[in-house]
A and B are shown apart, each in its own frame.
Chain A
Amino acid sequence: MTILVVAEHENGAVAPATLNTVAAAAKIGGDIHVLVAGQNVGGVAEAATKIAGVSKVLVADNAAYAHALPENVAPLVVELAKAYSHVLAPATTNGKNILPRVAALLDVDQISEIISVESADTFKRPIYAGNAIATVQSSAAVKVITVRTTGFDAVAAEGGSAAVEAVAAAHDAGKSSFVGEELAKSDRPELTAAKIVVSGGRGMGNGDNFKHLYSLADKLGAAVGASRAAVDAGFVPNDMQVGQTGKIVAPQLYIAVGISGAIQHLAGMKDSKVIVAINKDEEAPIFQVADYGLVADLFEAVPELEKLV
């Protein structure tokens, strides 16, 4: 059994999500190869050789693979996939964009967002916004799977010594092109990888009030998230959204401030180790999952919390 992991990378570095995906591959067992596709990705490939447990790094360095356009990357993965028993990618927007296209071209079902590996062909994944856990078995010749990164502890980024092999294949479908991107800039830790997350909801009232959460987060070394209500109200950009349709987080500590706790939001954070809720409505559903609840006005509680930690 040999497993191909499609690496997620950005700005010339291997993204942390790749390390969780390699961890899932290690649970399946067998040789683990990592594919680094992109343009000028020599540095990323070099970093990928050091990931613990990886035996080979395949490098597809071509202008067609820049920005991970699925029309070009999927045929590359399909061409390589035939030699593998499993193809894995993290369930990031890139992984979700590319892998179903790969699966359809291989004429197999894809299994989305696995949270555990039961055996080489059996996996667990959440359905209905995390309100049920399905155990699914695949009979596909090549099992195509995306991995929920919060379900697996990352492997070490250092210590490995994989061989590098260049992949010559260039696929350019010529059907899509990259126009531009607008990336949100932040000095705080990445939301899905942070140990502590402070999230605000509609109760914040407006975008300006999020400054209270930012200063608390900076003191805790935390990332800042938001509920859909806060995003839809325009308080913060959408890439901060935690939930079924946003990002899935499972930090050591999740502090929900002014968030009622709709099913959609809980789906994104209920696997956090410790959940704290600060809300003035003591009937809010968030208190049913919170380890520590504080019924208080957030505008008094948050500054006080910042002072005391």
Chain B
Amino acid sequence: MNGQYAALLIALPLISAFFVPVFKGMGKNAVRYFLILVTALQTGIAAWVFKEVYTTGQPIIVIAGGWKPPVGINLYLGHFAALFVLIIAVVSLFTAVFSISAVKTEPIDKYAMLFLLLMLGATGMIATGDIFNLFVFMEITAITAYALTAYNKTGEAAEASMKYIILGGIGSSFFLIGVALIYGSLGTLNMAQIAQLAATMDPTVAQVGLALIILGLAVEAELFPLNAWAPDAYQAAPHPITVMFSAFVVKAALYAMARILYLMQVVESWGSVLRLLIVMATLTVVVAELAALRQKNVKRMIAYSSIAQIGLIALAFALGTQAGVDAGVFHMVNHAIVKALLFLAVGYVAITLGGAELEKFQGLGRRMPLTAFAISVGAVATIGIPLFNVFWSKIRIILATLNVGYTWAAVLVLSASVVEAVYYFRLLHAIWFEGEGERISESMVIGLMMLFLAALVVVIGVYPDYVWELARKAGEDIFNVAQYVKNVPLMGVGA
């Protein structure tokens, strides 16, 4: 089949979002099942792209409107994009199913539209090969995320959304200034051509532009000190949306950061930008783990834990070596699975018991054994215990950090893992050894989804080689810029 069909990854959610009002007239359930149908179709297309890219080993380049890059915009579905587009689609399918029972109070049609646009924005950010198009997709993601955060229409939700809007507004302005500086000095917006011309760039302009772009993306990517919005948004947003934020919205921004960073690795001042990012990433891990330690609300606690894991990924990407990037991608995959599992289970508990405070979790092992089991697998995996998937990616990140010589960063990150173990074991203690309770019947569908994710955690933990191989190829896609440039058919430039 023709690779250009991969453009449906962007087109399908966009068209479907416009069709939601049509289905609204057919009753509330029509919208819900339409959402599931579209995400299932998206998963099918993503699986096809994944199979295509990994069997041929060649990226799919979608050329918009027949204008070859760098004149037109191109989508670059390499090993990384194919893997993450699939993850985005699968997580969206799960959250769409979860939304049936989780979103009842507020209008579902607007929710479905924003949901599809959030999926579209994240897919676009990962697939695009043009730096301004990246900005546009980032804004689609951000604006839908603002709206979805405020979706519950409580005072807390409005407050969380407002913080996110103000920080996100500053961040996107910084990003745009960075794009303006790069365009002003190179005269191109295409990523492949930027990489080709990067060596000719003035080091000071490159340093300032790159730093501004990283600060801009750091808001979406939840890096300290620009992540103050994140725990509030996670706490106040609808439960299915929290799954999406943690599993792929952050990942898209992190990927964009890594991609732009490695495009410009020939620039002289590159090392100083890396050092800035390493300091930010290490601080993110330490601050978030310490903040999680004193949380009473379980959803907020897991939100801080999620931010800390993001810091680890950013640290891996900032090392500037192949080993670091591979480990970072591997951790992204593992973290997406584990945090989707945790937020799904915690959200389900919060819906059933009416709140996510720690007291509500006492005796959960007796009341909702399946959900309690899912939370336990997720918690143990996040700490990084052997035979669970996160162990392998954490250890690879630590080893890569030590190899580059940042012993202090590795020590700080490892000590933060100890803190992490403390609060997760406190949660597990409350679930299994405290409180009494009657058995509550659990939903079959959500139970099956949680079991599937938990099984995935354990299978990757016992046989990490297959996924590690995928992550290694995806990491190569980010790190090896010469190959990236060669893959994009640049019209008449440098050839």
Do A and B form a real pair? no
Residues of A within 8 A of B (CB): none
